[in-house]
C-alpha cells in the first residue's frame, strides 16, 4: 500500500523522481553542482503539460524530444565555436556540447499528440494528457 | 504625466567574445528576446546590447516548475576604438545575438606640406 502525502503534489514527485533518474544517469548530486541544462518552466492543467526550455544557440537539427512511458527526454547539441582561423578569446561564458535531460511525467501522456517547436532559443513542448488519464467529472445521482 | 517605471528584472546575457586578425566577434545569449526590441549601439569604444522579452506564461494552466526568471537583457562591453563602426553587423538567431565588429584599417600616414 502506497501512502501518499496529503495534499499530494504530483510535481514534487516529478522533481524527486527526476533527481533519482539524474543519479541513475551519473549526474553529480554534490551541492554546488551545475544546474541542469536546459532550465525549464512547466505548467499542468486538465488538458496536460506545457513545458518551455530555455536553450539558446542549439542546432535545431540536433533537438530530440521523446516521450517514452512516463519519461520525457530532451536532447540536443550546442555547437562549439568553430576553429579555423586564429582566435584570441576575451570571454567564454556560454556552454557548448551535447546535453540530455529527463523528466518524469506525473500522468499518462498521449505521445502521438505531443508537439514541440523551437523559436528564439526557447523550446516549447505541449504534452496532452491521454484520454484515460484525464480527470473525469462524476455525476452525482440524487434520489 | 505618468512616469513609466520598469519593474522587470534585467539580466546581463552570457557572452563569448573572441578576436581575430580582422575583427572582434561577440555572441550573447538572449533567449526569448523579441527581435523587434533588440538594440545594438556602439559609441566611443563601447558596445551596448539591449533586448526585451515577453513574459512566458500559459493561460489556463497552473505553474508547477520554474527554473528561470523572466526579464530583459542589457550589457555593455568596452571593445576598442579601433573598430570600423560603419561596418558593424548584428544577427539574431536561435536566441543568440551575434555581433561582428571589423577592425578599422590602419590610418594612412598623412604628410602635411609646410608653407613659408
pLDDT top residue among B100 and B44: B100
Q: Which of A49, A81, A80, A79 is nearest to A65 (CA)?
A: A49
* Beta bridge pairs of residue B46: B43, B78
Question: Closest-CA residue in chain B for A84?
Answer: B20
Whichever domain contains B75, its CATH number is 2.60.40.790
Q: Which of B97, B68, B19 is nearest to A121 (CA)?
A: B97
ipTM of the complex: 0.83
| CATH number for the segment(s) A38-80+96-131 | 2.60.40.790
Q: Using 50, 70 and 90 to split pLDDT, how confident is the model at A12?
A: low
Contact flag A94-B14 (C-beta cutoff 8 Å): yes
pLDDT top residue among B57 and B97: B97
Whole-angstrom distance, CA of residue B38 vs CA of residue A92: 22
Whole-angstrom distance, CA of residue A8 vs CA of residue A6: 5
Q: Using 50, 70 and 90 to split pLDDT, how confident is the model at B2?
A: low
Which residues of A are less than 8 Å from B61 in CB distance?
43-45, 50
What pLDDT, on a 0 to 100 scale, did the predictor assign at position B79? 86
Residue B2 within any structural domain of the chain: no
Q: Is B55 exposed, middle or buried (0-12, 13-18, 19+ CB in 10 A)?
A: exposed
Q: In the structure grid, which three cell numbers stand for residue B39, read together?
A: 538594440
Q: Is A44 exposed, middle or buried (0-12, 13-18, 19+ CB in 10 A)?
A: buried
What pLDDT, on a 0 to 100 scale, did the predictor assign at position A82? 74
Q: Does A50 touch chain B (CB under 8 A)?
A: yes
Residue-number span of the structural domain to which B39 is assigned: 10-55+66-102
> What CA–CA distances, in Å, run from A108 to A46, A51, B85?
12, 15, 56
Ranges of H-type helices in chain A: 10-24
Which residues of B are less than 8 Å from A77 in CB distance?
none
> Residues B16-75: pLDDT tens digits?
999 999 999 999 999 999 999 999 999 988 999 999 999 898 888 999 999 999 999 999
Kindly list the domain boundaries of chain A, sorted by start residue. Answer: 38-80+96-131
Residue B27 within any structural domain of the chain: yes
Contact flag A57-B19 (C-beta cutoff 8 Å): no
Q: Is A36 exposed, middle or buried (0-12, 13-18, 19+ CB in 10 A)?
A: middle
- Residue A118: is its pLDDT beyond 70? yes
Residue B93 within any structural domain of the chain: yes
Whole-prediction pTM: 0.78
What pLDDT, on a 0 to 100 scale, did the predictor assign at position B8? 78
CA angle A12, A37, A130 (to 5 degrees): 50
Q: Does A19 touch chain B (CB under 8 A)?
A: no
**Residue A50, SS3?**
strand
- Residue A3: is its pLDDT beyond 70? no
Q: How many domains does chain B have?
A: 1
pLDDT top residue among A92 and B44: A92
Interface test with B, best of A34, A51, A57 (most B CBs within 10 A): A57
Amino acid at each position: 500500500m502506497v501512502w501518499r502525502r496529503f495534499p499530494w503534489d504530483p510535481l514534487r514527485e516529478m522533481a524527486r523522481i527526476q533527481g533519482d533518474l539524474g543519479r541513475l544517469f551519473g549526474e553529480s548530486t554534490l551541492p554546488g553542482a551545475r544546474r541542469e541544462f536546459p532550465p525549464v518552466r512547466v505548467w499542468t492543467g486538465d488538458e496536460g503539460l506545457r513545458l518551455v526550455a530555455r536553450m539558446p544557440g542549439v542546432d535545431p537539427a540536433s533537438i530530440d524530444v521523446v516521450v517514452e512511458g512516463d519519461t520525457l527526454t530532451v536532447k540536443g547539441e550546442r555547437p562549439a565555436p568553430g576553429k579555423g582561423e586564429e582566435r584570441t578569446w576575451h570571454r567564454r561564458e556560454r556552454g557548448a556540447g551535447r546535453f540530455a535531460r529527463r523528466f518524469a511525467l506525473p500522468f499518462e501522456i498521449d505521445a502521438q499528440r505531443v508537439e514541440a517547436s523551437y523559436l528564439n532559443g526557447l523550446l516549447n513542448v505541449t504534452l496532452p494528457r491521454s484520454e484515460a488519464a484525464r480527470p473525469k467529472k462524476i455525476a452525482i445521482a440524487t434520489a | 504625466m505618468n512616469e513609466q517605471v520598469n519593474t522587470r528584472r534585467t539580466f546581463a546575457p552570457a557572452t563569448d567574445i573572441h578576436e581575430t586578425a580582422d575583427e572582434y566577434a561577440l555572441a550573447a545569449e538572449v533567449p526569448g528576446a523579441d527581435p523587434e526590441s533588440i538594440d545594438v549601439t556602439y559609441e566611443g569604444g563601447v558596445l551596448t546590447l539591449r533586448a526585451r522579452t515577453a513574459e512566458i506564461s500559459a493561460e489556463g494552466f497552473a505553474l508547477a516548475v520554474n527554473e528561470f526568471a523572466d526579464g530583459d537583457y542589457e550589457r555593455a562591453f568596452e571593445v576598442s576604438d579601433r573598430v570600423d563602426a560603419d561596418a558593424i553587423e548584428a544577427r539574431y538567431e536561435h536566441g543568440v545575438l551575434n555581433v561582428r565588429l571589423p577592425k578599422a584599417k590602419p590610418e594612412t600616414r598623412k604628410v602635411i606640406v609646410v608653407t613659408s
